[in-house]
Protein backbone atom coordinates (compact mmCIF):
# COMPACT_ATOMS: atom_id res chain seq x y z
CA UNK A 1 0.00 0.00 0.00
CA UNK A 2 1.32 3.41 -0.98
CA UNK A 3 0.73 6.28 1.40
CA UNK A 4 0.27 9.69 -0.05
CA UNK A 5 2.26 12.10 2.10
CA UNK A 6 1.66 15.18 -0.05
CA UNK A 7 1.89 18.38 1.85
CA UNK A 8 0.58 21.75 0.89
CA UNK A 9 3.41 23.99 -0.27
CA UNK A 10 4.58 26.47 2.33
CA UNK A 11 3.23 29.95 1.72
CA UNK A 12 5.92 32.58 1.73
CA UNK A 13 4.79 35.37 4.05
CA UNK A 14 6.74 37.93 2.01
CA UNK A 15 4.95 36.84 -1.16
CA UNK A 16 1.61 37.17 0.63
CA UNK A 17 2.49 40.66 1.80
CA UNK A 18 3.53 41.66 -1.71
CA UNK A 19 0.25 40.32 -3.12
CA UNK A 20 -1.71 42.25 -0.50
CA UNK A 21 0.19 45.43 -1.35
CA UNK A 22 -0.40 44.84 -5.05
CA UNK A 23 -4.14 44.46 -4.51
CA UNK A 24 -4.23 47.60 -2.36
CA UNK A 25 -2.58 49.53 -5.19
CA UNK A 26 -5.17 48.21 -7.65
CA UNK A 27 -7.89 49.35 -5.26
CA UNK A 28 -6.32 52.84 -5.28
CA UNK A 29 -6.14 52.66 -9.08
CA UNK A 30 -9.93 52.48 -9.23
CA UNK A 31 -10.21 55.99 -7.78
CA UNK A 32 -7.38 57.28 -9.95
CA UNK A 33 -8.86 55.77 -13.11
CA UNK A 34 -12.37 57.02 -12.32
CA UNK A 35 -10.96 60.52 -11.89
CA UNK A 36 -8.90 60.21 -15.08
CA UNK A 37 -12.01 59.15 -16.99
CA UNK A 38 -13.97 62.11 -15.62
CA UNK A 39 -11.11 64.44 -16.63
CA UNK A 40 -10.78 62.76 -20.06
CA UNK A 41 -7.16 61.81 -19.30
CA UNK A 42 -7.21 58.78 -21.55
CA UNK A 43 -3.42 58.48 -21.75
CA UNK A 44 -3.33 58.05 -17.96
CA UNK A 45 -5.83 55.22 -18.35
CA UNK A 46 -3.86 53.68 -21.22
CA UNK A 47 -0.68 53.60 -19.15
CA UNK A 48 -2.47 52.23 -16.07
CA UNK A 49 -4.08 49.51 -18.17
CA UNK A 50 -0.76 48.63 -19.78
CA UNK A 51 0.87 48.31 -16.36
CA UNK A 52 -1.91 46.08 -15.03
CA UNK A 53 -1.79 43.93 -18.16
CA UNK A 54 1.83 43.10 -17.36
CA UNK A 55 1.78 43.04 -13.58
CA UNK A 56 -1.48 41.17 -12.96
CA UNK A 57 -0.27 37.78 -14.20
CA UNK A 58 3.11 38.31 -12.52
CA UNK A 59 1.29 38.46 -9.17
CA UNK A 60 -0.96 35.54 -10.06
CA UNK A 61 -3.98 37.61 -11.07
CA UNK A 62 -4.67 36.78 -14.70
CA UNK A 63 -8.07 38.50 -14.56
CA UNK A 64 -6.45 41.79 -13.54
CA UNK A 65 -4.12 41.41 -16.51
CA UNK A 66 -7.08 40.85 -18.84
CA UNK A 67 -8.94 43.86 -17.47
CA UNK A 68 -5.78 45.95 -17.77
CA UNK A 69 -5.31 44.94 -21.40
CA UNK A 70 -8.91 45.90 -22.07
CA UNK A 71 -8.42 49.28 -20.40
CA UNK A 72 -5.30 49.92 -22.46
CA UNK A 73 -7.12 49.05 -25.70
CA UNK A 74 -10.26 51.02 -24.82
CA UNK A 75 -8.24 54.10 -23.87
CA UNK A 76 -6.31 53.91 -27.15
CA UNK A 77 -9.62 53.62 -29.04
CA UNK A 78 -11.22 56.47 -27.04
CA UNK A 79 -14.01 54.15 -25.84
CA UNK A 80 -15.18 55.92 -22.69
CA UNK A 81 -18.18 53.64 -22.05
CA UNK A 82 -15.98 50.55 -22.29
CA UNK A 83 -13.49 52.14 -19.90
CA UNK A 84 -16.21 52.78 -17.33
CA UNK A 85 -17.37 49.17 -17.65
CA UNK A 86 -13.82 47.79 -17.23
CA UNK A 87 -13.11 49.97 -14.19
CA UNK A 88 -16.32 48.64 -12.63
CA UNK A 89 -15.24 45.07 -13.51
CA UNK A 90 -11.92 45.64 -11.74
CA UNK A 91 -13.74 46.88 -8.66
CA UNK A 92 -16.13 43.91 -8.75
CA UNK A 93 -13.20 41.49 -9.10
CA UNK A 94 -11.37 43.03 -6.13
CA UNK A 95 -14.57 42.93 -4.07
CA UNK A 96 -15.01 39.25 -4.95
CA UNK A 97 -11.40 38.53 -3.94
CA UNK A 98 -11.98 40.25 -0.61
CA UNK A 99 -15.07 38.11 -0.10
CA UNK A 100 -13.24 34.95 -1.17
CA UNK A 101 -15.55 34.50 -4.16
CA UNK A 102 -13.19 35.04 -7.09
CA UNK A 103 -10.58 32.91 -8.74
CA UNK A 104 -7.42 34.61 -9.83
pLDDT recorded at residue 6: 56
19/79: higher pLDDT: 79
Identify whether the C-beta of residue 52 lies closer than 8 Å to the C-beta of residue 93. no
69 falls within a domain: yes
Report pLDDT digits (tens) over 23-47.
999 999 999 999 999 999 999 999 9
**DSSP letter string over 7-76?**
-PPPPPHHHHHHHHHHHHHHHHHHHHHHHHHHTT-HHHHHHHHHHHHHHHHHTT-HHHHHHHHHHHHHHH
Q: Is residue 16 part of a domain?
A: no
Percent of the chain with pLDDT over 90: 72
Within-domain flag for 85: yes
What domain range includes position 85? 25-99
Number of structural domains in the chain: 1
Does some domain include residue 8? no
Whether the pLDDT of residue 3 is over 60: the answer is no
Which among 71, 63, 81, 82 has a CA at the least distance from the CA of 43?
71
Amino acid sequence: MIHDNKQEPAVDPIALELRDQYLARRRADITMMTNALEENELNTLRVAGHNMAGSGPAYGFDRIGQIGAGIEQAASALERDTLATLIAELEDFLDALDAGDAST
